A and B are shown apart, each in its own frame.
Chain A
Amino acid sequence: DTGVSQNPRHKITKRGQNVTFRCDPISEHNRLYWYRQTLGQGPEFLTYFQNEAQLEKSRLLSDRFSAERPKGSFSTLEIQRTEQGDSAMYLCASIDAGTDYEQYFGPGTRLTVT
């Protein structure tokens, strides 16, 4: 058990560019969550997967955002045509739903859009 990992840890991009983040959950965890945390705020839910199925999306997840978990293991979050308002920390968490109640968080990817 190496914990939840996220890559890259930091990403600086210019407005209008596309970016993709990756999350590798704890291997036996079947549920994966994405959250966004802006400065001075708590994390806000974006979306979650049960295995490979995306079961819920927040209204915060505009059409420019897309997330996948193709084989029920790692997940990617893509932001197209980035805007300065997308600058935030993007957090991933995983859980073995049904046997546990603690979400295990990764270190996050900090996105800065210039």
Chain B
Amino acid sequence: AQSVTQLDSQVPVFEEAPVELRCNYSSSVSVYLFWYVQYPNQGLQLLLKYLSGSTLVESINGFEAEFNKSQTSFHLRKPSVHISDTAEYFCAVSGFSGGYNKLIFGAGTRLAVHP
């Protein structure tokens, strides 16, 4: 079984400041890792994913996340945030044991970017 812990329920930050959203997971099998974003009144959108290979993955809008197997973490970072980054961010894992499986989500982190 897998579980995900997002350590911060809310993160307030000023525009153009750096931000880190923390995610830790537990699993007895190899996992795929994902960050999804949910803007107000919209559905979930995939932000980035780690499947294999390089432990640092990047999104097209400046976010990056690093898979750390020893610390079972997949923290999300952005060096300079914009007002438009205000949203709910969900970390998710999928256990890989012979096939792709359901997503297990964390409780979410609400990022609030202030001018």
User: Taking beta carbons and an 8 Å cutoff, which residues of A are in contact with B?
Assistant: 4, 31, 33, 35, 40-45, 48, 56, 91, 93, 95, 97-98, 101-103, 105-108
Contacts and interface: CB of A to CB of B under 8 A. Distances in A.
Contacts of B45: 105
Contacts of B51: 101
Interface of B: 4, 6, 9, 32, 34, 36, 42-46, 49, 51, 90, 92, 94, 99-100, 102-108
A36 to B, nearest CB: 11
Given A56-B102, A97-B100, A107 B108 contact: no
B43 A48 contact: no
A44 B67 CA distance: 23
29 contacts: A33-B103, A40-B108, A41-B108, A42-B4, A42-B6, A42-B90, A42-B92, A42-B105, A42-B107, A42-B108, A43-B44, A43-B103, A45-B104, A91-B44, A93-B44, A95-B100, A97-B99, A97-B100, A101-B51, A101-B94, A101-B100, A102-B46, A103-B103, A105-B36, A105-B44, A105-B45, A107-B42, A107-B43, A108-B43
Given A40-B9, A40-B107, A42-B106, 10 more contacts: A31-B100, A33-B103, A41-B107, A42-B92, A42-B105, A43-B44, A43-B90, A95-B100, A101-B49, A105-B44
Contact of B102 (A45, A91, A108): A45
A49 to B, nearest CB: 12
Contacts of B4: 42
Nearest to A102: B46
The listed residue with most B CB atoms (<10 A of its CB), out of A40, A43, A108, is A43
Contacts of B49: 101-102
The listed residue with most A CB atoms (<10 A of its CB), out of B4, B36, B102, is B102
B103 A45 contact: yes
B2 to A, nearest CB: 11
A18 to B, nearest CB: 25
| 4 closest cross-chain pairs (CB), A and B | A42-B105, A105-B44, A45-B102, A107-B43
